[in-house]
Amino acid sequence: MDNIYRPYLMTISDMTDEAPGVRTFKLNFSNEDEGRNFKFQTGQFGLYSVFGAGESTFCIASSPTREDYIECTFREAGRVTKALRELNIGDTLGFRGPYGNVFPIDKWEGKNLVFIAGGIALPPLRSVIWNCLDLRDKYKDVTIIYGAKTTEDLVYKHELKEWDARDDVNLVTTVDPGGETPEWNGKVGFVPTVVEEAAPESKDTIAIVCGPPIMIKFTLPALEKLGFKQDKVYTTLENRMKCGLGKCGRCNIGCTYVCKEGPVFTAEEVSKMPDEF
């Protein structure tokens, strides 16, 4: 696209309510030629716009192995996301992107993978999870540890069942104490604690972490205790993504512009950032 600020026009072809206030859109390109030429890699993000309301930044939640469409998952939290929730199947919205760097999944081939996510932070990991599962023969053991405040807050419930039913995926789900229901058969506890209990093997293993800053803050030491080196742990700084181009000056952490140099970083890189993160 010649003009990096001009959005693609996208048509909502499907939608799923994932949790209270959380919705997933399946988006197809209104211009089929643009759809055929569009490429992205897992970890990248975009800006989604409702005309007259503004635009908001989210990851691309679908895998690049699933072509001809993209998906985004958002929580209603402000003017733009409220306007997004008012859209329906068949409506048009704008999308510009993809922006940012990517998860280096080629470098992970032949290794075990441990995905760790909390709450609404599963969408960016969903993209890389499906990307790796669609290339399943290239990776060894796959473990997914996912937690939310309550059972109701867990997103992608239908896909959690699908992952749980697979013989080649080890799924561990948890909710915070008090968030369980009588029918709940998963873990009860905070994600960092459950990570330590699950104790995934650190040898030949890559860990990919995404969640609220407080979850990441306590999960990284838990992984270190289990023997994970910082350069084998990846995260994506979703909450710092802004204009996508590093032009607005709001995504920087110290001298690092998350939109241009991220959002994907190793724990080693994050450890060198100022405490403001």
**E-assigned strand segments in 107-241:** 112-118, 142-148, 170-175, 187-188, 205-210, 233-236
Contact 208, 128 (CB under 8 A): yes
Q: Is 255 flagged in the annotation as binding? A: no
Burial of 254 (C-beta count, 10 Å sphere; 0-12/13-18/19+): exposed
Q: Is 243 flagged in the annotation as binding? A: yes
The candidate with the shortest Cα–Cα distance to 236, out of 259, 204, 205, is: 259
Q: Provide the phi-psi class of 86: left if phi over 0, else alpha when psi is between -120 and 50, else beta.
A: alpha
Cα–Cα distance, 142 to 156 (Å, whole number):
18
Structure tokens at 252: 């920087």
Cα–Cα distance, 131 to 110 (Å, whole number):
15
The candidate with the shortest Cα–Cα distance to 241, out of 58, 80, 72, 65, is: 58
R_g of the chain, CA atoms, integer Å: 18
Give the largest Cα separation in the chain, rounded: 55
Q: Pick out the residues of the known binding site for [2Fe-2S] cluster.
A: 243, 248, 251, 259
- Binding residue ranges: 243, 248, 251, 259
